[in-house]
Amino acid sequence: MAWITDVKTFAALGGGVIGSGWVARALAHGLDVMAWDPAPNAEAVLRQRIANAWPALTKQGLAPDASPQRLRMAPTLEACVADADFIQESAPEQLPLKLELHAAISAAARPDALIASSTSGLLPSEFFARATCPERCLVGHPFNPVYLLPLVEVVGGRATAEDAITAAQVIYRRLGMRPLHVRKEVPGFIADRLLEALWREALHLVNDGVATTGEIDDAIRFGAGLRWSFMGTFLTYTLAGGDAGMRHFMRQFGPALQLPWTYLPAPPLTERLIDDVVEGTVEQLGQHSIATLERYRDDALLGVLAAVHQAKRDHGIHADD
């Protein structure tokens, strides 16, 4: 099947925080948007959310023909998706609801239009079970605020076609996003599994009286969080190994994984695991030296700190907050 990738009309089902974020992103990229939400006052709420997001989108840069006026509300689900080139569902995380919705969406949509769900926890094979043409159904899991954060996890179900995954990534890139193909259908996908691990440990620290929620947030905001904005965990630890890189880091700090620092058990530090991690970080390093990436890291940190400080001044927030 030749799936539509040159999207002109974007259908958004659900106008909550995530759904409205999709609408704002699509509008900012100059698309026509059809939206549907059965909640009372859905249109007024959605348009207010778009208005709140628009100043940030304007600063980021709009497509020449971008306008909130290109949003239209559909009276029914069927009318919302009937002429859409791409469909993004952002309904609540309830399996019976998603099953019902996707049966209706796929029956009413054009046969060459991809159908994506913003679910963060449900598996696509489960809630696309009653869908017509399930090979064009997939997960496109974004992060809040959807209109600014570029990451979208793309996950297929057992029936999803490979070319549908490829086409969805093309569409998301044209919306200014960074699609991440999650190759296996696993609960929580990738990013939320990492966040959930951190969240569990944070709750343990609060519950055990080790730190307050503010102190824990400060530990992230003024430490690893600054690095995470431009350099992930594996590359950060590669630099921590110095010129010897990841293999030295794993050898030096690997035994600490067996210490009872957290409530989450660590995997056995086998030679295969070390080799897999080293190979992954070597690929990330590419042709760059450790020294080059150290300079990049330092410059990026200075840039992030300056940007945060300026944004606080612009909004009247105390520098220490």
Edge-first strand listing for the sheet containing 178-182: 71-73, 32-36, 9-13, 86-89, 114-117, 137-141, 151-156, 178-182
Q: Residue 303 CA to chain centroid, in angstroms? A: 23
Q: What is the mean pLDDT of each run of 10 residues along the chain (321 residues)?
A: 95 96 98 97 96 92 97 98 98 95 97 97 93 96 94 97 98 97 95 93 90 92 91 92 93 86 82 89 90 87 88 87 75
Note the pLDDT of residue 269: 83
d(CA 80, CA 84): 7
Note the pLDDT of residue 57: 93
> Where are the chain's structural domains?
9-182, 229-314
By the 10 Å C-beta count (0-12 exposed, 13-18 middle, 19+ buried), 136 is classed as: buried
The conformation of residue 181, written as its DSSP 8-state character, comes to E
Note the pLDDT of residue 168: 98
Note the pLDDT of residue 75: 97
- Please indicate, yes or no, whether the overall pTM of this predicted structure exceeds 0.75: yes
Note the pLDDT of residue 50: 95
Radius of gyration of the chain (CA): 22
Note the pLDDT of residue 156: 97
Note the pLDDT of residue 150: 93
Note the pLDDT of residue 262: 85
What token pair was written down for 80? 């919302």
Cite the DSSP H helix spans in the chain: 17-28, 42-60, 77-81, 95-108, 124-127, 162-174, 191-207, 213-219, 225-228, 233-240, 245-253, 271-285, 290-314
Range 55-58, long-range pairs (CB < 8 A, 24+ positions): 56/145, 56/147, 56/148, 57/24, 57/25, 57/28, 57/147, 57/148
Note the pLDDT of residue 301: 84
d(CA 87, CA 92): 16
Domain 9-182 coded CATH 3.40.50.10420: no
Note the pLDDT of residue 268: 86
